[in-house]
Structure 1
Amino acid sequence: MAGVAMGAVAMGATAAAAATATAATGMPALASATQFFTANGMVFELLVSTLMFTWWLDRRPGFAMRAPAGMAAILVCSMAWNLLVPADLWTATVQNVAVYLVFTLWILVCWRVNIRQAVFYFVMGGTLQHFVYRGARLSSIWLHAFWHDGAWIDTYVYALMQIPFLLLGYWWFARPLVRKPTSALAGRSVIGMLFGMLLCISVFTNLFNATAAPGGSQAFTIFSAFDLVTCVFLMTLAVEVVVNQAVRSDAEVMRELLRQQRRQLAASKETIDLINVKTHDLKKQIATLGPRISPEQASELSDLVDLYDASVRTGNESLDVLLAQKSMQCEQRGIRFDRMIDGRLLSFMTPVDIYSLFGNAIDNALEAVDRLDDDADRYVAVRVREEKGMVMIRVENPYAGELSFDDGLPRTTKDDARYHGFGTRSIRMIAERYDGTMSIVARGGVFRLTVILPR
């Protein structure tokens, strides 16, 4: 694609020469196609570059109609502009700004994003397009050193050289943003990126093209290299802003989860203590009934009381509270709860960390077991033991279906992935806090989460 990039007014003569050379060879159809892409190539280049940053976003209803219709409208406007408006410094700048606006509107109409996100994704797509343009042009200039009269270089080689630069741009700048949330991007940051883009790859480029001396290939090469580096810096900065914002957002969610678990630990301890007191009193009252009830009735009442007898003794009070609560949940759901735990091995951990680690692990296991058929082997097994001077914690459960992993962690199966999937991440964070490791193996329908901690 022999696209005219943003502000490439000075390159028109070269492209026209290429088109003339093509026509002279007796191929008017090819010459017409070359002229069409020379005049409107910026639209196609921006389309490819923008899609590299937006392909994974949630699409609005009717996307299959909205996207091509919007692109067709943008292309028609581009063709009309090139036919009706003379090219100079100011019209080129106005054209660039107009293209920015319509592409931003196109993103807003086609994907479920807000205005800040639409501006951000177009800034990234527009900057990537300019990066690819500059890289391909510099490659063409280098080849002109060997073929001085090679007018075909500025058309066909330029189009081919865009491919490796597009791939590099996607790998370096678009791929790190895939699945990264941008909804919380500050408007100030987005406006700053947009203003920097307008200055660097539109205003200054058009000023250079309008004022540079004709035939100044050396100055053009130096400016192009500077322009290329500026695009790299701008996209690198934008990626860092998004990644840091995502990390801060995740950290805030994690802190809120820990605050909730701290409150839940206190509430659960009070509840379990109350249940233990009441069941102890009930057992005494059943014993005092004596001959007034039959042995069968006494046995049935004792079984009912045992169902709510939350006394669990592992040697760790926080773990006892949690396991008592989970035991009742398993009993109510018909899930076998196997546990072999030496809670004294966890004395070096804080109560909140114990409650968070085991609570998240067992909750995830219960969710997986709940999806099994009623006739399946429904169980959750928890083990805590010492092994070679290390504390080994293992939570095991059967599961159904297929699991996909990302960065060693299973992807959440819930619809709102933004606020879910923190359970295993929290477990790994706690393990690393104690210089330990967490590993997950899902094989043969059995899910095993293992945490190894040094004592």
Structure 2
Amino acid sequence: MMSFLFRCLFFLDILFLGLLYTAKFPKRSHYPLRAALACIVGLAVSCGWAALFDGKPQLLGLYLLYESVGFLGQFFIALFCVYSCVQMQPWTCLYLGTFFWFTQQASYSIASILIGNSINFRGLITSIASLLVVALLLYWLFVRYIEAPILERIHSHTVFPSWILMLLGCLVLNSYAGFYNETSCTYYLALLLIDTVVLFYQYTIYQTLGLERENETVRLLLTQSSKQYQIAKQNMEQVNIKCHDLRHQIRLFRGAGRIDESVLKEMEQAVDAYDITVKTGNPALDVLLTEKNQICRSKQIGFTCMADGKGLAYMEPADLYALFGNALENAIEATEQLTDPAQKQIVLTVRPVEGFCSVHLQNYTKEPLRLENGLPVTSKQDRLNHGFGTRSMQLLVEKYGGELTFQQEADVVNIYMLLPSRPASE
């Protein structure tokens, strides 16, 4: 009877872990009803399946097959219940299922180390308590940080190694130990070590997928920056031509005396607002800083720029546009949230220093700067789709052998960049 209960408990363990670990995932329609039906119907099917395997064959090979099929059946019943409640891809479900399995296995190993392999009421309570502790600990340390969109990148070649380890390391090993009544502490310690290694391997897979997604996003941003640079360059050239033509027309009107002088002065001021070209000695930097200067004027943000960009002429124009563009966009976004006009100021300094080009960007902010691995953590709630700008800045600075530092002093954010200074021909 206790053997039957432990088999059903295995199903409930996997189902509990599945619903807990997918708590942040998108749900299917009528989730509460689905979850309730999954528990009731799933448990009924699980009990029927457990009843079919409530014996012990005398032959080792048959016993291994018997136990493996019995527990795999319970596992897939629980996994199907989770899949019917949560929106995810089949390979994602199998990946998470492996995580559920080894978490359950680790909790079982800990319970067996504490009280031995006791198939009684005390062993049942200890197994449940151990599962709760291990599951909640892993959830707090790792699982709550897992994002469903990253797991959508999982494919068969990602899942198969874990499944092989699960089949060989747990199913066969446990069945073999069960046949020979292996209940030593050493055995369960070894099993716990296997569980820990596989869980770590599973989380490493997730981190790798996250880095791949991040790198792809950064590359996409850099490609978009290249296109934006070309568009901004063409727009600035067209604006300069139009401004030149308008000034010529204003001179003609003034000479002919056809329009009142005050109206002509207003027209000149309007033209001047669009003809403020920043000159740094670097055409790519000129395009960007002119564009950002106009944006600051439209948002009533003071923009002070003292830049000598000749030493950065060797950098690819698109890289330069992306690097300074991301820095200034973040500064503008932070500054426009301020209410004090005296604080709505951005200062950019670019100057040569002993074979290097020193860049210092300074702006006020009302949010504290939180750093993670040296980079600011986005203040937006959707961290999965934001925060790539500073990462692309770091990659670009490293590409050219430079250094990037973020600091905050009181309510002022400072960005320091140190880049090699070389002429364009090198």
TM-score relative to the length of structure 2? 0.79
Residue 128 of structure 1 aligns with which residue?
A: 103
Asked if the contact 1:116/1:185 (under 8 Å) is kept, the reply is yes
What per-residue deviation string (whole Å, max 9, x for no partner) do you get for residues 319-342 of structure 1? 2101212233344x4432412322
What per-residue deviation string (whole Å, max 9, x for no partner) do you get for residues 192-238 of structure 1? 4234323332244224423x2x5x545xx554444333323322222
Residue 178 of structure 2 aligns with which residue?
A: 209
Percent of residue pairs bearing the same amino acid type? 21
Residue 436 of structure 1 aligns with which residue?
A: 403
Choose which of 234, 244, 247 in structure 2 pairs with 1:270. 234
Is residue 182 of structure 1 aligned with residue 151 of structure 2?
yes
Q: Give matches, 1:59-70, under 5 Å.
A: 59-70=27-38
Q: Cα RMSD between the aligned structures? A: 3.9
Structure 1, unmatched stretches of 5+, are 1-11, 17-34
Choose which of 292, 300, 303 in structure 2 pairs with 1:338. 303
AA aligned opposite 2:167 = L
Asked if the contact 2:308/2:351 (under 8 Å) is kept, the reply is no
AA aligned opposite 1:315 = G
AA aligned opposite 1:186 = H
Question: 2: distance between equivalents of 1:345 and 1:164?
Answer: 61
Deviates more, 1:295-304 or 1:223-232: 223-232
Is residue 394 of structure 1 aligned with residue 369 of structure 2?
no
Residue 223 of structure 2 aligns with which residue?
A: 259
Tell me the CA shift for residue 366 of structure 1.
4.0
What per-residue deviation string (whole Å, max 9, x for no partner) do you get for residues 259-305 of structure 1? 22123223322321232233123223322332423321221221121
Question: 1: distance between equivalents of 2:232 and 2:191?
Answer: 61
Choose which of 72, 76, 82 in structure 2 pairs with 1:107. 82
Residue 424 of structure 2 aligns with which residue?
A: none
Residue 197 of structure 1 aligns with which residue?
A: 166
Tell me the CA shift for residue 370 of structure 1.
5.9
Asked if the contact 1:60/1:109 (under 8 Å) is kept, the reply is yes
Tell me the CA shift for residue 376 of structure 1.
7.1
Asked if the contact 1:409/1:425 (under 8 Å) is kept, the reply is no
Question: 1: distance between equivalents of 2:328 and 2:29?
Answer: 38
What per-residue deviation string (whole Å, max 9, x for no partner) do you get for residues 384-427 of structure 1? 1569978242242556x898876652336375x54432112222
Residue 9 of structure 1 aligns with which residue?
A: none
Residue 44 of structure 2 aligns with which residue?
A: 76
What per-residue deviation string (whole Å, max 9, x for no partner) do you get for residues 103-150 of structure 1? 322332333321111111111111111122123213334xx9xxxx99
Deviates more, 1:236-245 or 1:172-181: 172-181
Is residue 347 of structure 1 aligned with residue 312 of structure 2?
yes
What per-residue deviation string (whole Å, max 9, x for no partner) do you get for residues 9-62 of structure 1? xxx8xx68xxxxxxxxxxxxxxxxxx95x4532234324443553233333443
Question: 2: distance between equivalents of 1:285 and 1:345?
Answer: 35
Q: Classify the secondary structure of the residue corresponding to 2:150.
A: coil
AA aligned opposite 1:130 = Q
Q: Classify the secondary structure of the residue corresponding to 1:181.
A: helix
Deviates more, 1:118-127 or 1:433-442: 433-442
Is residue 229 of structure 1 aligned with residue 193 of structure 2?
yes
Question: 1: distance between equivalents of 2:81 and 2:68?
Answer: 20
Question: 2: distance between equivalents of 1:136 and 1:176?
Answer: 27
Q: Classify the secondary structure of the residue corresponding to 2:360.
A: strand
Question: 1: distance between equivalents of 2:361 and 2:55?
Answer: 70
Q: Give matches, 1:29-428, under 5 Å.
A: 38=6, 40-51=8-19, 53-83=21-51, 86-88=54-56, 89=63, 90-141=65-116, 154-155=123-124, 159-162=128-131, 165-166=134-135, 169-170=138-139, 174=143, 177=146, 181-210=150-179, 212=180, 214=181, 216-218=182-184, 221=185, 223-289=187-253, 290-292=255-257, 293-331=259-297, 333-344=298-309, 347=312, 350=315, 351-368=317-334, 379=344, 381-384=346-349, 391-398=358-365, 408-411=375-378, 413=380, 417-428=383-394
Question: 2: distance between equivalents of 1:380 and 1:324?
Answer: 16
Asked if the contact 2:308/2:352 (under 8 Å) is kept, the reply is no
Taking a change above 3 Å as real, the CA distance of residues 388 and 328 of structure 1, as seen in their structure-2 partners, is closer
TM-score relative to the length of structure 1? 0.74
Question: 2: distance between equivalents of 1:406 and 1:61?
Answer: 37
Question: 2: distance between equivalents of 1:61 and 1:405?
Answer: 38
Taking a change above 3 Å as real, the CA distance of residues 405 and 51 of structure 1, as seen in their structure-2 partners, is farther
Question: 1: distance between equivalents of 2:412 and 2:35?
Answer: 42
Structure 2, unmatched stretches of 5+, are 57-62, 421-426
Question: 2: distance between equivalents of 1:202 and 1:413?
Answer: 44
Report how many aligned residue pairs link the two structures: 406
Question: 2: distance between equivalents of 1:173 and 1:410?
Answer: 18
Tell me the CA shift for residue 450 of structure 1.
1.6
Q: Classify the secondary structure of the residue corresponding to 2:165.
A: helix
